[in-house]
Amino acid sequence: MTIFEKILNKEIPTELVYEDEKVIAFNDISPQAEIHLLFIHKEKSENINDLMDKNPEQVKDLYHAIQKHTRAIGLDKTGFRVVTNLGPHGGQTVFYTHFHVLGGEQLGFFGRA
Ligand code: AMP
């Protein structure tokens, strides 16, 4: 079981910053920006390609949650970045699909280190 399933099952107590019927969001434990949130769907998939195979509607659920929450906290006004990593070259470490939302400060370029 991945750490995000444990968070969903409340085996690891984590403060949720957002929850609706289908999606939860919480703060990244190792923030890479002033604001660094992780959005996950309550139905499991391993990565974005697996999610698209299983139920592409989940992308809409996740972006709906991101839209709602970023508007609620005013992050849409200053801007933010959404990232999802897949596999070793993408830097994925938790094999439960998640969307990083980064903002709260000017972000740098990304890509090659
Ligand atoms: P990725 O490397 O794209 O798979 O992202 C996994 C993210 O999960 C990393 O940014 C980690 O800092 C974050 N993370 C790992 N464990 C936890 C946890 N218990 N609570 C919150 N974030 C976590």
Q: What does residue 67 show for φ and ψ, rounded to 5 degrees?
A: -60, -45
Domain ranges of the chain: 3-103
The atom number, within ligand 1, closest to the CA of 12 reads 19
CA atoms of 63 and 38, how far apart (whole Å): 12
Q: Which residues sit opposite 100 in a β-bridge?
A: 38, 83
Contacts of 69 (CB under 8 A, 6+ apart): 17, 18, 25, 37, 39, 75, 101
Could you tell me the pTM of the whole model? 0.97
Tell me the pLDDT band of 4, cut-offs 50, 70 and 90. Answer: very high
Q: What is the pLDDT of residue 110?
A: 84
Q: What is the pLDDT of residue 111?
A: 77
Q: Which CATH superfamily is domain 3-103 in?
A: HIT-like (3.30.428.10)
Q: Per residue in 71-111, pLDDT tens?
A: 999 999 999 999 999 999 999 999 999 999 999 999 998 87
Residue to mutate (ligand 1; options 39, 81, 92, 94; most atoms within 8 A of CB): 94
Mean pLDDT of 12-19: 97
Amino acid identity at 28: D
CA atoms of 92 and 69, how far apart (whole Å): 24
Residues with CB under 6 A from ligand 1: 3, 12, 14, 26, 28-30, 38, 85, 91-94
